[in-house]
Amino acid sequence: MKYCENCKINYEKDFKKCLLCGDDLISNETDLTVNSYPTIKKTKEPLNIIYRTFILLNIISIIVSIFIDYNADKNLSWSLIVSSGNISTLLFLKLLFSESKLVLRIISFLFISLIELIIIGYLSKDPSWAIDIVLPLGSSIITIFLTVVIFSKSKRWQDYAISLIISCIINISLILLNIFNVTVTKWPVLVAFFIGLSTLLLLILFAPKKLKEELLRRFHI
Residues 6+ away with beta carbon under 8 Å from 81:
120, 123, 124
The pLDDT value recorded for residue 118 is 92
Q: Is residue 218 within 8 Å of residue 162, measured between CB atoms?
A: yes
Q: Is residue 218 within 8 Å of residue 167, measured between CB atoms?
A: no
- Average pLDDT of the residues of the chain: 82
One-letter amino acid at 219 equals F
pLDDT digits (tens, 9 = 90+) for 132-171: 999 999 999 999 998 888 778 766 666 777 888 889 999 9
Phi, psi of 3 (to 5 degrees): -140, 135
Rg (CA), the chain: 23
One-letter amino acid at 109 equals F
